[in-house]
A and B are shown apart, each in its own frame.
Chain A
Amino acid sequence: MSRLTTIRLMPIINVQNLSRTYKVYRKNEGLLSSLRGLFHREYREVHAVRDVSFEIEEGEMLAFLGPNGAGKTTTLKLLSGLIEPTSGTATVMGYVPWKRENAYRRRFSLVTGQKEQLWWDLPAHESFRLHKEIYRIPEDDYDRRIDELTSLMDVKALIDQPVRELSLGERMRMELIAALLHRPDVLFLDEPTIGLDVISQRNVQQFLRSYQAEQKITVILTSHYMKDIEALCERAVVINRGSVIHDGPVSEIGDRFSQHKIIELTFANGSIPGDIHRFGDVLEDRTPMVRMQIPKEDVSNSLSRMLAQYNIDDVSVAERPLEDVIAELFSSESKADDVDE
Chain B
Amino acid sequence: MNSVANSAEARGSLSWWIGLKWLILRTAIVERFVYRGDFFFATVVRFLPIVTQIFLWGAIFAGDDARQLQNYGYADMVAYFLIVMLARAFSSMPGLATGIAESIRNGSVRKYLLQPVDMLDYLFWHRIAHKLVYYAIAAIPFAAVFWLCEDYLPGWPSATVMSAFVISLLFGFAIGFLIESLIGLIAFWFLEVSSLIFIYMMLNYFLSGHMIPLEWIDNWIPWVHYLPLKYLAYFPAAVLLGKIPEADLPTELATQAVWIVVLLIANRTTFYYGVRRYGAFGG
Contact = CB atoms under 8 A, between A and B. Distances in A.
A133 B27 CA distance: 12
Interface stretch (A102-110, A274-282, A283-291): A102-110
Contacts of B279: 22, 83
A80 interface: yes
Interface in A91-139: 100, 102, 105-106, 109-110, 112-117, 119, 121-122, 126-127, 129-131, 133-136
A119 B116 contact: no
B114 A110 contact: yes
A80 B16 contact: no
Contact of A112 (B27, B117, B278, B283): B283
Q: Which of B24, B115, B279, B280 has the most CB of A within 10 A?
A: B115
Contacts of A190: 283
Nearest to B278: A83
B20 A134 contact: yes
Nearest to B20: A133
A246 interface: no
Interface in A68-99: 73, 77, 80-84
A106 B116 CA distance: 6
B23 A129 contact: yes
Interface stretch (B76-84, B105-113, B234-242, B257-265): B105-113
A126 B107 CA distance: 22
Interface in B129-148: none
B113 A100 contact: yes
A341 interface: yes
Task: Give the interface size bracket for A toward B.
Answer: 35 or more
A102 B13 CA distance: 14
A220 to B, nearest CB: 15
B283 A341 contact: yes
A300 B31 CA distance: 67
A100 B27 CA distance: 25
B110 A126 contact: no
Nearest to A132: B23
Interface in B2-58: 16, 19-20, 23-24, 27, 30-31, 34-35
A134 B27 contact: no
Given A22-B279, A122-B27, A81 B117 contact: no
Contacts of A340: 281
Interface in B266-283: 275-276, 278-283
12 contacts: A82-B110, A105-B116, A114-B108, A114-B283, A115-B108, A116-B108, A116-B111, A121-B35, A122-B27, A126-B27, A133-B23, A134-B115
